[in-house]
Every structure is written in C-alpha cells, then in structure tokens.
Structure 1
Amino acid sequence: MNEFKFNEIQLSAINKLDKQINTKKIEQAIINNSFNELDNDEQEIFLEVANACYRAGFPVIEDSEYDVFYNKFSEKEPASPFVNSVEPEVLHLGKTVPLPQKMLSTDKAYSKEEIQKWLERIINSANELNIDAKNISVRVTPKLDGYAAYDDGERLYTRGDGVRGQDISRAFERGLQVAQSGARGLGAGEIVIDKKYFEENLSQHFENSRNIQAAIIAEKNVDPLVQQAINDGACVFYPFVLLKNWTGHYEQLMADFEDIIDSIWNAVDYDVDGVILEAVDPRIKENMGATRKFHRWQIAFKVNAESADVEVLEVTPQTSRTGRVSPVAELVPTKISGATISRVTVHHYNMVKTNGIGKGAIVQVVRSGLVIPKIEKVIKRVEPQIPTNCPSCQSHLVWEADHLICQNKSDCPAQTENTLIHFFKTLGNNDGFGPKVIEKFTNKGIKHIHEIYELKAHHFSGYGFAEKTAKNLFEQLQLSRNVEIEDWRFLSAFGVSRLGGGNCEKLLRHYSLTEIFDLSAEDIGKLDGFAQQSSEAILEGLASIKDEFFKVYSLGFNLSITPKASDDSQISTPIAGATIVFTGTMIKGTRSDMEKQAKALGAKVAKSVTGQTTYLVTGTKVGETKINSAKEKGVKVITEDEYLDLIS
C-alpha cells in the first residue's frame, strides 16, 4: 500500500476508543505492513483501531490479515483484556441496553487438524455425560460476514460487548426484511446485502459491503441508495436459525470434510468468511460452557488468505450494459489456494490510474479459500495506459467519479449485446436466447429487442443457425409473447437504472405501463420507497428506453396487470386489505403464484411477519420457532389448505 490516511469516519471511530493513539504511527504501520515491528502495547492499539474501523464500516486491513495479527498477539499476550473479551463496537448510536441473550465471539480454526482437536473436546464432554459417541452430531452453517445483531421480536440490538448492545430497531422501521420471508424474533443473526446486487448497483458508490451494513443502522437519515437496497429486498437481517446447514455424525464430517465445507461455504448469496461448526446436543453445550469471549462448543473454520506477487501482462477494458468500462488485469498464470489465477477484475479505472497498474506492474494477488481473488496491493508501479475510447465502439470515454463511461448508448455493440441478453434473461420464459445466440444477431447488425421479435422463421437460418435450431428459436420467441408474465417483470427487463423488479412493481401499483413515461421526478418521489435522487435517475432511464419500449410493447405480450393500490378498498374478498406472509414449500401451487393471486384479491403480501400481519400461510418445512413467533404476535397461522378454503 503506497498511501493511506484515515478518513473522517475512521477517525471518529478511533476517537471513541477514548485512548491516546498516535494515528500517524498506525497509518505508517498499515502502509508498511509493519505490525510485527510494533511493541506489544502498540500492537494492541493497532488491533483495537483495526477493529474499530471495521465495525464503523471502513476496514483498514483485510479480515485475514487481522486474524493473523490477532493470533500472533494473543499468543504473546494471552492475558490481554482485548484478547479475553468480545471485540467491542465503537458506534455509539444510542444508550446501551442489556441484550436478551449473550452474544459472544467465535473461536477460530484454520486447519482440519484444529477441527479434529476441537472435536476431541466435544467427545470428551460427551464421555463425561455418558453420551454414546455414535450420538454425537455436529451442525455446519455459513459464517456470514455482515453486521451482527439480535432480534427478540420487538427490538433489534447490536452485539455491543456481548452483554449490552444498542437498540437499532429503526432498521426494521426503514423496511429491512428478514431473510427467506422469515418471522421476527428468531434471535441472533447478521445484517447482510446480496453480493450481486452490491456489485451491480452499489459498488461504484461504496468501497465495500461493510459500508452498507453500517449505513443501514445509521442514526441519521439513511443514504438514498442504501434505502433503495432495503426497498429492493437486497439488504436483509439473516437469523442464524434460517441458514442452510449440514448436520450429521462427526466422523462423517471428517470423512467428507472438504465437500461439506465447500457446499456450506457457497450456500448463500451473501458475503461469507468461513463456516461455523457447533455441537448439536444441548447437554454437551451446557457441559462445555463458554469463556468470557466464546462458546467452547462452537468454532469457526476459516482459510488463511494465500497471496502471490504476480506480473501484470496487460489491463483489458470491458464495456458493460450500462456503458461502464471496467479494467481486467491479465496476469501471468499463478497457482494460489489451489486454483490457477490468470486474471482479476480491478475495481475501476481510477484505481488503475492511482495505483499504477498496467503492463509490467507487479501486484500482490490474494485469494482466501473460495473467495474471488483480488489485488491487495501494488508492489511495482508502472505508468498505466488509460483508454480514451470504448473498446467496443471506439466512442470517446468520459469520467464519472471513479469510472470511465461510454455514452454511446445506441451504437455500442457491447452495450447492445448485454442489453439484449439482460432482456431475455429477466423475462425468464425463453431459454434459447443466451449470450451465444445474441452474439450471432448483433454480429449481423441487430441492435434492438423489437428487431428480434420481427424476425420470420426463415430469417434464423440466414443468421447461421441449423434448420432444427432455427425452428426451435422461432417457436420459443412466439411462446415468450404468449406465456403470461407480470407487467413489472416486463418493465424490469429493459434494464432501467434503479428500477429493478421490486421498484417496477411499486411503481405499477400506482400507474400503468403507459402512464409511467409521462411522470415527473416529483410524481415518483412522492411514492413510498422512492427518494428524489433515484427518482431523477429513473426518469432519465425511462426517457432513454421509451421508443424501444413501445415498439416491443406493441407486439402484444400477454401481461398480467399489477393490482392498483387505489383499488384495494374497492375489492370485496375474504382477504381484501389483509397482510399475508407465505412461508415454506407449497404443495398445490408455487409460492410466487399464490402471492400473485393474493395481491389480485386485494391483499398485501409481505416478506416477514410483524405485529401488522394478518395471516401466516404455512406450507411444508416450516420451523416451529417461526410459527410460535407469529402466534406470540397475535398473527393467525393457517395451512395452505385452510388458506385456499378461505379464498374460495
């Protein structure tokens, strides 16, 4: 790292440590990677500062680096108060209150051998209790890399020091949902954001997802982009009890260790930095107990980051659907963490320019276990080559904040191709029109969606498709117009910025597909869930697609119309005006179809149970915890059959 200075938020977090801290010395230690050269007192302060910045949403070092430094320090100073307590939060968002349940840290292991030693302690505990070894089970779940919190059904709390936390219930008041349409009151979990959503919508505005997690619980008004992520359901509170898990005998765990870890590590669409292993039997848990810092019956398995200094062969620009040109560093193929790495995406071109990344540069590439590799720092800088023209259409590029943008929306082949791919992928009823098929069309000069739909059967053969494939593609194209799809999904397929599926549905609850093009930013901003900034971006996006939209719309797609909010009071059905949550696996229809039907009957469909919920409709595979939590809130719990009887 060539340059580093604490920002205002980091300095504010450091000041709240209420200690005399030489921030300049810490900055130099970060720049020079000289933790080992600090004395013990300085190392402790370094770790406290790193922890404070991490919890403020602006990490100064990688998690893996922190773990290495922490382990070294704890070996030298095992009696340190910092080592023997839960790493504290420093975000003083309000007065602290007792937590409903202790929230401790988790002990860590970095090898299969360390897990084996932990299991031996589990077995010893079972022996003390006369529990047969064949009955010792272990549960494995993803270790979410989010913001730890506890939901008791009424309030949401930060972890704090593990005993006292802060009330951040405002996150739910802002619309934060429980993952998997779960109920409130499911205990400990983490606030997380969908990885793909972050990359596509927020990565140009926020350095990392940690910034978002801290912003969700901010005491002041939440950032409009973060509010939009909440509205879109991309940010959720994920209770640990809802996480996918592997549960089985400890011998099976060790026999299939790599496969089990790999499966659970990749089980969710959120940032994960390991897996959690825990004993299942409550008697073993009680017998093993806890230290002041962590439960002895639980351990986190993490993978130390491996790194290599790699030469950059070249930096290749790639143009996305939105016109953003992203740099990809092509590398000398190098094996890291068991995988050969030959390319890595650089965040944006300002990073290329600032850090001197180009042909001949030497970069440190880090890969931690199954995590996507990234450039950690630049070892040898070069004079970077910054493109001035789009690699796809040669149009002049312009800077927008940290990004280079191609403004040639109408004639850029890369933008055209990716826009067409996005349309068919979002529509979801036409499997044949993937990237390779779209590429053949764009190579022949097709630029617009309506041009594809206007093709006749004989045209497909002329585009290089075999007779049978051509016939199949033509039939799929006709089918995609006849199969019913939601009007909000149709609108979402045009890829307007800030107008994902959730926002399309909200907009169409008040205006028709044709009316939305005559709205002002003020009209959109008045609707619940739309901020002024996003409203202006939506308006601009709608204007850009208007001509193409109406050409495609006029082709006669079979669209189901989103029920209007104004009609809710006029609908007379048994569930009109009710708030319904569907959970579990439905037998007589998909959950999506039942939600759509409920909306048509005048009900409001929610993702999580609150005190305002009227019915919790349960399918199969629903936990008792969720059902009991709903009943405690006075929510009527009914089965799928009872619901169908109700609306019939």
Structure 2
Amino acid sequence: MSEVKLNKEQLLVIDKLDINIEGEINSLELLFERSMNDISLEDLLIILKVSNALYRSSTRIIDDDDYDSYIAELKNRDPDHSYLSTIEPEILVESKTVALPEKMLSTDKAYSFEAIRKWTDRFLKAAEEIGVMESEIQIRVTPKLDGYAAYDDGISLYTRGDGIRGQDITRAFNKGLQVANSGSRGLGPGEIVIKKSYFDSILSKKFENSRNIQAAIIAEKKVDESIQKAIDEGACVFFPFSLIENWTGHYKEILTDFDKIVDKIWTSVDYDIDGVILEVTNETLKEHMGATRHHHRWQIAFKVNAESAEVKVLEVTPQTSRTGRVTPVAELEPTKLSGATISRATVHHYNMVKTNGVGPGAIVQLVRSGLVIPKIEKVLKSVAPQLAESCPSCGTHLIWESDHLVCPNKTDCPAQTENTLVHFFKTLGNIDGFGPKVIEKLHESGIKKIHEIYELQQFQFISFGFGDKTAQNLVEQLKISREVEIEDWRFLAAFGVSRMGGGNCEKLLHHHTLDSLFEATIEDLVKLDGFALVSAEAVVEGLANIEEEFRKVRALGFNLAITPKASEQSEGETPIFGKIVVFTGSMTQGSRGDMEKDAKALGAKVAKSVTGKTSLLVTGDKVGANKINAARDKGVQVLSELEYLDLISKK
C-alpha cells in the first residue's frame, strides 16, 4: 500500500466505530502500510472496520481489491469469526441508530452454476418436506444493485445499518429523492442508486465514483448543486427491490437457460450492479426455508467466478472457533491470484487434512472464489497429514467429533468464552457498544460470563481502561437492553447452543416454556417437526451446558415477549388462524412489525408479498390502486387497517 494519511472527515467517521486504537492516529495509518504477515488478528479487524466505514461514508481509504484481500485473510485465519457473518454496517456520523421496521439481511453468494444447482436441490428438498408441488415453484431473477441499501416504511427512510438497527435518513426524500419507476412510498427494502449513463456523462469528472453521490444524498448537510440537479431530474432514485426489472419463471427454466437469463438481467438496468439475485417466490416455501442470522435461505446472489492456481502448502495451523470446533488453515507459499496475494486458505475440516494428506509440501489447487474467498478446490499431491493435538487457545487435548477436531474445554478456553460473549450481544440485537473490541477488553480484564458483564458498575468499566463517558454509556446500554422488549426465542438463541438458531428456538418455544425446555428429553424433541435424532441430542446436551448461566442471566430481569404455544393456537380460535397475511403501507394504529408479531401470535402466517395463496392483504395509508387490484385479481381478500383490527377483535 502507498502512504496513508487520514483527514478530518475520515477521523469523524472512525470516531463512530467500536474500536480502541492505542497511541496516536499515525499508529492506525501505519497499519495499512504493513505486509499481511506482519498484521495481527486484532489489527486486521481494525483495518476492515475502518476501511468499510470510510468506503460507505464516501471517504474511501483503500480500493476494493485491497479490502477483499483483507477479508480473505480473515477468512483464512478464523473462518468462524463473527465479523464474517456480520452485515457490514452503513456508518453515518450524524445519526443515532434506531430499530428497523424489518430485518435487512445480506445475501448468500454463489460463483458457479454448480452452486446454483445445489441451491435448487435445497429448496426442492424443502418443498418436498411441506408438500409444495414442483410445478408451483417459481424463481424471480433480478439485478443485484450496487448502491446504498435502505428501507422505506412509508413514513421514514432508514439505512440498513447492521441489519437490525439503522439510522433515519428521511431527509433524502425531503431533498426531492424520488422512488424509481414512479413507485409509491412504503415499499420496503431497496437501494439508493444513480443512473450509470448520467454519472458517466455529467458527474464523473467532478466525483470519483457514484458512492460519493449516494453518501451526499443521505447526509445532513446540503448537497452539491450538481447532485441536487441529478435528484431533481430523477437520475438519483430510491429503487425498491419489488419494482426492479426481473425475469420470473419455473425453476427448471433457470437450469436449462441459466446463461441466457443471467445475461439478460445483467444488462437490464442503467445502474451499477455486481451480480444477479435469484429467489424463490412461493411464500409458503420461503417461510419454511427461513433464514440464518446473515441471509435468507430462499435467496442467493450469483457473481463472477474465479481463476485458480497450484500452490505449495508450508504448514497447517489450527484455529479454535466459538463452538470449540478447531479449523485447519493451510499456510501457503504466497501466490498472486485475481489481483491479490494469497498466503492462507481454509481446509474445510481435519478429516479432509487426514484423508487427503494435507501437510508441509502438499500441492493444492487454489481458487479465489468471487475474487474474495480463497478456497482449496482439490489436493494434487498428498503428503503425511499435519494434525493438531491440542487447542491453540487453551492447550487442552483435542477430541474427534465426526469430521472435526474439537476442544472440549467449554468453560475456560479463551477462544470459546470471548466469542460466546460477542455472539450473545450480536444476536440480542437491542444494545449498542458491546462489539468485539469492547468484549475483548472485558475478557482481558477477567470477565468471562454474560451475567458478569451485566453486573458491572461504571467505576469497574473505568478500572478496565474505558473513559468516563464511555463507561457511563455502556452501563446505560446494559440497562436499556434489559428494558427493551425482545422475543424469548431471540434471547435463547443468543446463548449460542449448537443447532439452535433463531428458527429452531422459536419452534421449540411453540411447545415449551423457557423453563420447561431445559427438562425436555431427546425423545420429546424428536417428536417435533424438524428435529431428527442427531439434532435433538445436540440440543439437549447444549442446553445442559448453558443452563446455569442462562438462569443467572434471565434472573437479571429481561423484558421478554413470550412465544405463543401451539396448544394456544387451536384451529378456529382466531379469525386469522392458518391464514397467510400480508401487511402493506403505513399503519396508524401501530408499527407494521408489531402488527405482524400480533398476527403470528393469533396463528397466522405472515408473508412479505402477495401471491395466489395469500389469504388477506391488510392495507395502511399510501397503497397504490394497482397493488390492491392485483391482489383482488388473485382472489385475495383486501382489508383496511381498521377492518382488519375489527376482524381480529371478534371471537
């Protein structure tokens, strides 16, 4: 890298980040000048956070290829690191974060047709599980806009933030920003974009790239006259995903004419794109497939594939994850691939090391998939495998569990305890300030348990090296996180039990209370839909491991919204039981999120878009006649907000 000097505007952005930089600011500048091998994991995370924040605030410090190289390095060193499953936040200096009306997740990625085929196999399996006919499965293909992600609920416009909390940027509409394709407000997620042709012909000489313009539109300060003109002329728009150009057809057509369909969509809009998005349209199937914390399983982005190289392995080093699973990382002879120097790559698990003979001197085929992730495609020359014997974090002797080597020291392994704390606050989603850097500092000060953090006083934070104001804010945030209502299933998922993501936690709590769940047996869980024997065994064992800490944390008085029990939702008990309900427009009697939550409690299935299987479309303010007429044409009952509230009030 060339010499890096941070300006005042960049320093304001960095000040918003959850990082602690020791020494003068030139210490940070010097980080960017080090070779990859001289950068510690801690400094690598600082580089990534700073680079992402500056890019998204239009004050970029490094180019995309360099950022991708740093991401690849983190994947090599710690494939399970929480930063890799975190939605990269949009940073605004001026604003505080607020809860989004609806989660905005990232999109899973595929870099080959074979990966797309595997995705279709997954949704076909899911369809078979719930009795959805193959003839009913349609796929929608759209351009993947490369703009500034935002959410419009009809009243406010929000940045995507971290996917759960964003920042209010309604001022962009107050500056005259229009909705693309003459659309109405309140259409949910989308991107702020500018036409390529307009940028190239009018603005490219004045601005380095289109992101400079996108950032200016949402900033509090008055925009440049040339940007205001672009807004007034409709060249800068908010483009809701629901209005974007698309190809929709039976999934078999994708498998037959994949290249043709992708090529057509890739060139269908006059905006910057970085791929195409494929998604299942069947609402029942989407509901069943659900989502991870990072992405929807029913959706995938196709991006450009990568080149490959034959590389010599120097050493295989172990990395311990939050779950205790130890991942083998191949240290490689530095190799230039797709514009980046690669020196590490993950070897999926230690059984692959053992069976394929991966060790010093092995020759592997390396692929830099999507110009980001270095991946070992195959082993071309085998040697004696290099296996780990002890945990690199705590020194405990490792044991085999299926294909993996695992550290059994769940309570005192630093890698597991620190990452468990990070996972808790990230999953909880209602607290600011407790990111990896703060957790690392607390862990170094001897704090190893969740309940210990909540019991800390301001003077204790100060004694750990936090400033007075920061310490006060952290104590206040801990108080807020106990008072703000969160779902009981999210609270349970935050403890990180294996095979207990949010979806499975919600399923379990439909049948058990938070207390009775710890008494459930393997036999009890196997009876529930979606829990095979292996999953049930893992859940029961995992719950036993966290029970003591769970009860201590719960006793701190969290405000939990209780998941309704299946027995409380007997058919006929509510007018909307078993019906598929879609809410649209701006609601006046409560937020759309609250109405969706209440509908689920009454036994309804809430969907995001209208299909032929939708039972009810509930309309708030500012809903276009075309949307209402299209729903009625499909046989969907349309109710106003007040008509709906009257309906559910009836026994």
TM range (shorter): 0.5 to 0.7
Given that 1:584 and 1:618 are in contact with CA atoms closer than 8 Å, whether structure 2 keeps it comes out as yes
2:427 is matched with 426
What letter is aligned with 1:240? R
Pairing partner for 2:264 from 290, 298, 303: 298
- Measure how far apart 1:339 and its partner are: 2.9
What letter is aligned with 2:307? E
C-alpha offsets along residues 604-644 of structure 1, whole Å, 9 cap, x if unaligned?
43567676643133569999998677545532134556545
- Measure how far apart 1:405 and its partner are: 0.9
- Measure how far apart 1:292 and its partner are: 13
Gaps of 5+ in 2: 1-101, 147-179, 181-193, 212-243, 248-255, 267-274, 276-302
1:524 is matched with 525
Correspondences of 1:609-628 after superposition (within 5 Å): 613-617=614-618
1:86 is matched with none
The reply on whether 1:512 has 2:513 as its aligned counterpart is: yes
Given that 2:580 and 2:613 are in contact with CA atoms closer than 8 Å, whether structure 1 keeps it comes out as no
- Measure how far apart 1:441 and its partner are: 2.1
1:499 is matched with 500
Aligned partners of 1:362, 1:534: CA distance in 2, in Å? 37
Distance 1:292 1:194, change over 3 A: closer
- Measure how far apart 1:473 and its partner are: 1.2
Distance 1:563 1:444, change over 3 A: same
What letter is aligned with 1:527? L
Distance 1:454 1:339, change over 3 A: same
Correspondences of 1:196-235 after superposition (within 5 Å): 211=118, 213-214=120-121, 216-217=123-124
- Measure how far apart 1:580 and its partner are: 3.8
Aligned partners of 1:423, 1:385: CA distance in 2, in Å? 34
SS at match of 2:328: strand
- Measure how far apart 1:560 and its partner are: 1.3
Given that 1:337 and 1:368 are in contact with CA atoms closer than 8 Å, whether structure 2 keeps it comes out as no
SS at match of 1:315: strand
Given that 2:306 and 2:370 are in contact with CA atoms closer than 8 Å, whether structure 1 keeps it comes out as yes
Given that 2:336 and 2:342 are in contact with CA atoms closer than 8 Å, whether structure 1 keeps it comes out as yes
Gaps of 5+ in 1: 1-179, 182-192, 199-206, 262-277, 282-289
1:414 is matched with 415
What letter is aligned with 2:124? I
Structure with max Cα Rg: 1
1:582 is matched with 582
Distance 1:295 1:304, change over 3 A: closer
Aligned partners of 1:420, 1:292: CA distance in 2, in Å? 43
**Which segment is superposed worse, 298-307 or 487-496?**
298-307
Aligned partners of 1:415, 1:631: CA distance in 2, in Å? 53
Aligned partners of 2:258, 2:328: CA distance in 1, in Å? 47
Aligned partners of 1:291, 1:488: CA distance in 2, in Å? 42
Distance 1:618 1:355, change over 3 A: farther
Aligned partners of 1:622, 1:462: CA distance in 2, in Å? 55
2:636 is matched with 635
Correspondences of 1:266-305 after superposition (within 5 Å): 294=260, 298=264, 303=304, 305=306
Aligned partners of 2:504, 2:342: CA distance in 1, in Å? 38
- Measure how far apart 1:253 and its partner are: 9.8
C-alpha offsets along residues 42-74 of structure 1, whole Å, 9 cap, x if unaligned?
xxxxxxxxxxxxxxxxxxxxxxxxxxxxxxxxx
Distance 1:297 1:539, change over 3 A: closer
Correspondences of 1:99-114 after superposition (within 5 Å): none
Correspondences of 1:539-558 after superposition (within 5 Å): 539-558=540-559
SS at match of 1:240: strand
TM-score using structure 2 length:
0.54
1:240 is matched with 140
Aligned partners of 1:602, 1:240: CA distance in 2, in Å? 28
Aligned partners of 1:339, 1:522: CA distance in 2, in Å? 51
1:79 is matched with none
- Measure how far apart 1:467 and its partner are: 2.0
The reply on whether 1:593 has 2:594 as its aligned counterpart is: yes
Given that 2:576 and 2:603 are in contact with CA atoms closer than 8 Å, whether structure 1 keeps it comes out as yes
Distance 1:520 1:368, change over 3 A: closer
Given that 1:578 and 1:613 are in contact with CA atoms closer than 8 Å, whether structure 2 keeps it comes out as no
Aligned partners of 2:612, 2:458: CA distance in 1, in Å? 56
Correspondences of 1:350-389 after superposition (within 5 Å): 350-389=351-390
- Measure how far apart 1:416 and its partner are: 0.8
**Which segment is superposed worse, 324-333 or 631-640?**
631-640
- Measure how far apart 1:324 and its partner are: 0.7
Distance 1:609 1:480, change over 3 A: same
SS at match of 1:314: strand
Aligned partners of 1:279, 1:410: CA distance in 2, in Å? 52
C-alpha offsets along residues 319-348 of structure 1, whole Å, 9 cap, x if unaligned?
111111011223344332233333222211
C-alpha offsets along residues 285-331 of structure 1, whole Å, 9 cap, x if unaligned?
xxxxx999957983768745322333434332111111110112233
SS at match of 1:404: strand
- Measure how far apart 1:359 and its partner are: 3.7
The reply on whether 1:446 has 2:447 as its aligned counterpart is: yes
Aligned partners of 2:116, 2:389: CA distance in 1, in Å? 30
SS at match of 2:617: strand
Correspondences of 1:394-405 after superposition (within 5 Å): 394-405=395-406
What letter is aligned with 1:493? A
Distance 1:208 1:319, change over 3 A: farther
Given that 1:457 and 1:474 are in contact with CA atoms closer than 8 Å, whether structure 2 keeps it comes out as yes
The reply on whether 1:343 has 2:344 as its aligned counterpart is: yes
Distance 1:351 1:249, change over 3 A: same
What letter is aligned with 1:539? V
- Measure how far apart 1:490 and its partner are: 0.6
Distance 1:359 1:445, change over 3 A: farther
Distance 1:645 1:439, change over 3 A: same
Aligned partners of 1:439, 1:280: CA distance in 2, in Å? 45
Count of aligned pairs between the two proteins: 413
C-alpha offsets along residues 404-438 of structure 1, whole Å, 9 cap, x if unaligned?
11111122111111111111111011121111111
What letter is aligned with 1:496? V
- Measure how far apart 1:565 and its partner are: 2.6
SS at match of 1:373: strand
Distance 1:518 1:465, change over 3 A: same
Superposed CA RMSD = 4.5
Aligned partners of 1:416, 1:373: CA distance in 2, in Å? 28
Given that 1:568 and 1:576 are in contact with CA atoms closer than 8 Å, whether structure 2 keeps it comes out as no
Distance 1:334 1:627, change over 3 A: farther
- Measure how far apart 1:597 and its partner are: 2.2
What letter is aligned with 1:567? E
Correspondences of 1:159-170 after superposition (within 5 Å): none
What letter is aligned with 1:395? T
The reply on whether 1:560 has 2:561 as its aligned counterpart is: yes
1:458 is matched with 459
What letter is aligned with 1:582? V
Distance 1:293 1:455, change over 3 A: closer
Given that 1:577 and 1:602 are in contact with CA atoms closer than 8 Å, whether structure 2 keeps it comes out as yes
What letter is aligned with 2:316? V
TM-score using structure 1 length:
0.54
- Measure how far apart 1:506 and its partner are: 2.1
Aligned partners of 1:515, 1:484: CA distance in 2, in Å? 21
- Measure how far apart 1:514 and its partner are: 0.8
What letter is aligned with 1:388? E
- Measure how far apart 1:380 and its partner are: 4.7
Aligned partners of 1:292, 1:564: CA distance in 2, in Å? 44
